[in-house]
Amino acid sequence: MPGHPSVAPAVVPVFASDTHRRHAPEREIESSAFQVPYEHPGRADAIRAALASSPAFDVREPPQSSRAGMGDGVAATHVAAQLGSRCFETTTPLTEGTFAAARSAVDCALAAAAAVEAGAPVAYGLCRPPGHHATESLYGGYCFFNNAAIVANHLVAATGTRVAVLDVDYHHGNGTQQIFYERADVAVVSLHGDPARAYPYHTGYADETGAGKGSGMTHNVPLPAGIDDDAYLVALDSALTVVAAHDPSIVVVSLGVDTFVDDPMCDLALTTDGMRRCGARVASLGLPLVVVQEGGYADSSLGSNVRSWLLGAASRFDSHQRSPSPRG
């Protein structure tokens, strides 16, 4: 339920771990050439600094989750064979510290979910590496464990209710879609650059709507190049109508800010203030939000873009609201 404008906005719990720095590849391969990675530790450090400088956020270390078996079970022994059985493309660097970093991202996501379960109307997991391209068994697209999907799966099990994932990253969240494609308990709604021109190219088209028990639970909104704040908000509003129609108890937001006008990888034209408007619009659903970080590569604006989105969301909840009312 949106808060009264005269009441102070809720302080947003933020979960961040410096363990992400253990995933620090020196180079990545793009178009058959080495380049400095777009996805690097400075991203999460910039977001953390931007949030820590504002009293609107309470930055905490996440507790370590108890999924110790994650990553076990590869049968092949040669490293090349193991890689081939675990990744869907070759541009995502894997390093000695990647597992620890990816685990810490899951911890951040699950801690944000726990904060919402405990009554916070909105909480944020500063997940790095990101997650939404990771499928049930394959890494790729800078993603290793699907933080948003792990949270959604946890919330369904913990609450016995339906959950929605709203993915606003520029790129289609192929992993999240794959994981829930045949499930009736998690709706997946994604806005992204049209895969006819944008990574991951093979998924994210409007005619992918789920299968089996999950028929009608997947909704893709491919976007044209160059759209600005106003045009994006029109698309977001229609996506939010779809989210609401599924009547979820909680919304997991895959927050990519690579929709930003100056993002070096992408071709939409959102502004920092547009991010605020998007956050406010999503929060106006009146549902608790577990927000997890996905992409965003415009380094100098990354922190302010994430902060703007979260402040927009928090502005819809007041500081006395321990447990948001059901959507009404």
Q: How far is the CB of 141 from Zn ion (least distance, A)?
A: 8
Q: Which of 28, 39, 169, 208 binds Zn ion (CB under 5 A)?
A: 169
Stretch that binds Zn ion, among 28-36, 153-161, 166-174, 218-226 (CB under 5 A): 166-174
Q: Which is nearer to Zn ion, 229 or 267 (CB)?
A: 267
Residue from 171, 183, 281, 307 binding Zn ion (CB under 5 A): 171
* Given the residues 20, 132, 133, 172, the one annotated as active site: 133
- Shortest approach of Zn ion to residue 47 CB, angstroms? 14
129 lies in the site for Zn ion, by CB under 5 A: no
Stretch that binds Zn ion, among 70-78, 120-128, 162-170, 208-216 (CB under 5 A): 162-170
- Residue range at the interface with Zn ion (CB under 5 A); choices 39-47, 57-65, 169-177, 212-220: 169-177
As a whole number of angstroms, the distance between CA 24 and CA 41 comes to 6
245 to 274, contacts with Zn ion by CB under 5 A?
256, 258
- Tell me the residue type at 324: P
Number of residues located near Zn ion, criterion CB under 5 A:
6
Residue 154 or 171: the one with the smaller Cβ distance to Zn ion is: 171
Residue/partner pairs of 235-239 with CB below 8 Å, 24 or more apart: 235/191, 236/168, 236/191, 236/278, 236/281, 236/282, 237/281, 239/166, 239/189, 239/191
CA distances in angstroms from 257 to 144, 177, 240, listed in the order given: 19, 19, 18
Cα dihedral 243, 137, 155, 280 in deg (nearest 10): -40
Alpha helices in the chain (DSSP H): 41-52, 79-84, 98-117, 147-159, 174-180, 229-245, 272-283, 299-314
Closest to Zn ion by CB, 17 vs 293, is: 293
Nearest to 128 by CA among 306, 266, 265: 306
**What is the chain's Cα-based Rg?**
18
Task: Please say which residue, 256 or 279, places its beta carbon nearer to Zn ion.
Answer: 256
Using CB under 5 A as the binding rule, the residues of this chain from 291 to 310 that contact Zn ion are: 295
Number of residue whose CB is nearest Zn ion: 295
133 catalytic? Reply is yes
Contacts with Zn ion, residue ranges (CB under 5 A): 169-171, 256, 258, 295
Catalytic residues: 133
